Structure 1
């Protein structure tokens, strides 16, 4: 396949690197500092199973998606519409745009920007971070759940051959909500405390807080008619043990002075809860505190 990665941060670089390593023609669309390092040394992939430099193409321009069969769309949820508009003039007619993003509504939002193209949602279970320019560090997992489309099965086979466990599911909405609940339970707490998951859950009262968050998320999901996959409580209990050293993406954003995706995580539960008349006080407090920290950073 010819693959373009729009938004080659930690997630995009990891999956793009895995496909490039398997022999696919991959171009990462990345920020200038990241791009320069990759042009010079290749993409440094430090994973749980290998540590090597993967050589692949890199660009800073949205036009690099031209002629790609597959676009891995990995921008922040805050940038979904604007990034979609940037790549729209260059997309091939038969391209699949696969959303590898946090949140539950990105594919739906992107379809409004790209009505002439196939857009599919995916659920991403991976612990990664940018350890430096051109250096992606993988802490665990990496599996994907992909929404059905005309080419999803072929894409899934390519990922599997590249060492990425992947399945195509007819209930991606339920899987996205299951991932959202994990993010709502962990992201804000890790960000506020600036602690990894393993230390976060050791805090006094934190596990009870996380259970309250899950209760509220499940109430909203039920009212929305969503069939959440799996056992949300068990998944939350298990995550810290599987990724004890991982900082949430929200924590990483705040540490770098960047705007986070909290409006699309706990903030989404607050918004949907208000619309449905469901009280979500735990999610509201976490959302409000992260927003306060963001505004504090913005003021310098």
Structure 2
């Protein structure tokens, strides 16, 4: 039996709970930070209904307070980016000398922020392609997909290739039967994910529509494509290239998807804060730093800010 990396999960919702449960099922030591679900999970563990087979973990290491948790080799952050202001205090007790922090979050620029606060740690970005939701406390339903795209952060998003640390984490996830793809350039991967996230998250809220309805109408479909092309302009301002064929792939992938409510639309329906800054604001800011304006995305941003404020009044 070789050395097994220990994992901390910050934010045990659908995504963090699913990946953490898969790692524990495969035999890895996993420590879960919870808030409202703490009592239920401490007592009953985690239930996972999955297209790859249901399973229950009757006992998990559950914590309400990060200062009670051990320092871990790998810390997975699966909180919504609207809660990132809490990260400095949540992570501080968990971060050891060579800790790896993986941000499984939507959007752009969070790695740069965390690297400033924890300069001794290795920071990675994980992009999740998963359909999962939390039914009740400690009960996760995994509907489709589960791949993670993982890349490491280097100062100012320089491309740093595929590191040994990434390969070690990939081995662990493969052992846990989770698909993982390693990428050499985190910023490229982040912009690619925005090609999907910016149009569909924004329009699902603004137009009050599923992805299927958006793709089924000629006008909204044209709008999606125009927004995707503007995301590519943003990427180009950061010296990253998004090909026309990648945009075509995202459009056809969405046409073939099961009808799906985006995470932003679900947040809107439940009157939770929307991830507007992470998904749109930071992309606009990054492009502006390079003297590039993205007018369509800017308009979506302003509309969402208005809707978000009205919705939570």
CA separation of 1:172/1:59 partners in 2, compared to 1, >3 Å: closer, same or farther? same
1:36 aligns with 2:39: yes
Q: Which residue of 2 aligns with 1:175?
A: 189
Q: 1:224 aligns with which of 213, 238, 258?
A: 238
Q: Which residue of 1 aligns with 2:128?
A: 124
Residue 68 of structure 1 contacts residue 91 of structure 1 at CA under 8 Å; is this kept in 2?
yes
Residue 146 of structure 1 contacts residue 167 of structure 1 at CA under 8 Å; is this kept in 2?
yes
Residue 80 of structure 1 contacts residue 109 of structure 1 at CA under 8 Å; is this kept in 2?
no
1:196 aligns with 2:193: no
CA separation of 1:251/1:231 partners in 2, compared to 1, >3 Å: closer, same or farther? same
TM-score by length of 2: 0.87
Q: Which residue of 2 aligns with 1:249?
A: 263
Q: How far is 1:277 from its partner? A: 4.3
TM-score by length of 1: 0.90
Residue 41 of structure 1 contacts residue 53 of structure 1 at CA under 8 Å; is this kept in 2?
no
CA separation of 1:38/1:280 partners in 2, compared to 1, >3 Å: closer, same or farther? same
Q: 1:62 aligns with which of 60, 66, 72?
A: 66
> Partners of 2:24 and 2:249 in 1: how far apart?
31
Residue 123 of structure 1 contacts residue 172 of structure 1 at CA under 8 Å; is this kept in 2?
no
CA separation of 1:230/1:174 partners in 2, compared to 1, >3 Å: closer, same or farther? farther
Please give the secondary structure, in 2, of the residue aligned with 1:23. Answer: coil
CA separation of 1:159/1:204 partners in 2, compared to 1, >3 Å: closer, same or farther? same
Cα distance per residue 1:159-205 (max 9 Å; x no partner): 01111111222122211110111100211122234443223322451
Q: 2:177 aligns with which of 154, 157, 163?
A: 163
Residue 199 of structure 1 contacts residue 244 of structure 1 at CA under 8 Å; is this kept in 2?
no
Runs of at least 5 residues in structure 1 that lack an aligned partner in the other structure: none
> Partners of 1:127 and 1:202 in 2: how far apart?
21
Matches within 5 A, 1:85-96: 85-96=89-100
Runs of at least 5 residues in structure 2 that lack an aligned partner in the other structure: 152-161
Q: How far is 1:242 from its partner? A: 4.7
Q: Which residue of 1 aligns with 2:10?
A: 6
Residue 147 of structure 2 contacts residue 179 of structure 2 at CA under 8 Å; is this kept in 1?
yes
Q: 1:213 aligns with which of 207, 227, 235?
A: 227
Q: How many residues align?
A: 298
1:110 aligns with 2:114: yes
Residue 215 of structure 2 contacts residue 255 of structure 2 at CA under 8 Å; is this kept in 1?
no
Please give the secondary structure, in 2, of the residue aligned with 1:205. Answer: helix
Two-structure CA RMSD over aligned residues (Å): 2.2
